[in-house]
Structure 1
Amino acid sequence: MPDTEEGNFISKFLSLVIGDKRRWRQYKARVRQLPPNYRTAVEGIERYLMHFGPMDGGNAASLFEDVADLFERAAADGTPIREIVGNDPVEFVEELIRNYGKGGYVAREQERLVSAIDRAVGKESGTA
């Protein structure tokens, strides 16, 4: 990656999202070794996770590594991709995300939202 302000921003952002660069490179190397159809599926999952997955580096890195593990085993066993992700790939990935929780600012903002609504409801009923 070029040593530019944009390159530095992207690098810092990726570090926040995916954590340790070494782990990310190892994960990407594993994905490159998958058969083409499994690799395509993992790359699709990866894109989705980049937008909607856990936002703290540790959880994200573990999630990506576990996806690689799952697809490596499936490829070795000859398990069809649909048997892994089912008929609804979005639900499959959403379940992965739920299992890893949302870290960082997402969880804080969710808690703030719940708290704000609870305060508002309390004010409406006169209990706040």
Structure 2
Amino acid sequence: MTAGSDEPKGRYLRYLEVVTGSLEDKKRWRQYKARIKQLPDDYRTAAEALERYLMHFGPADGAGAMAMFADLADLLERSAADGTPIRGLFGDDPVEFVEAFMANYPLGQYRARERKRFTSAIARAAGEDAAREDGTV
């Protein structure tokens, strides 16, 4: 890497992002975690539980996931500022809340592609020959 040239540094950063993932997404993740850390204890506990659930079942791509986590932080910060009780926010069925919350975000390319592939395979197995591999009819 030469000191006066931006090109080698640009190439290096592009290579680094291929290996480690988007540096911008990592920055956004650290910002999200800092916001969650500032919440009152009960909201932080709820946020951590919701985050754990979303890591397993939420969007698989970085950009979609980061938009979702930023919106989650916004929601929790507003709720804490307004004094909304945890049950008032999540309701009696937290899974129903989180599933409705996730429905607003794209699944991510891999999961969407696999869902289409699975649906198509079942249609073929059921003898519905109009279904194709890409999930279209």
TM-score, with structure 1 as normaliser: 0.79
Residue 127 of structure 2: SS of its match in structure 1? Answer: helix
Of 50, 53, 66, the residue aligned with 2:55 is 50
Q: Which residue of 2 aligns with 1:6?
A: none
Structure 2: gaps spanning 5 or more residues: 1-18, 132-137
CA RMSD of aligned residues (A): 2.1
Q: Which residue of 2 aligns with 1:90?
A: 95
Identity of aligned pairs, percent?
61
> Per-residue deviation at 1:77?
0.6
Q: Whose helix proportion is higher, 1 or 2?
A: 1
Larger radius of gyration: 2
Which deviations, in whole Å up to 9, do the C-alpha atoms of 1:70-106 show, x marking residues without a partner?
0100110101111111111111111111221311211
Which of the pair has the greater relative contact order for Cα pairs under 8 Å at 6+ separation? 1
TM-score, with structure 2 as normaliser: 0.74
Q: Which runs of 4+ in 1 moved over 6 A?
A: none
Structure 1: gaps spanning 5 or more residues: 1-10
1:44 and 1:27 map into 2 onto residues whose CA distance is: 15
Distance 1:22 1:122, change over 3 A: same
Of 65, 68, 77, the residue aligned with 1:72 is 77
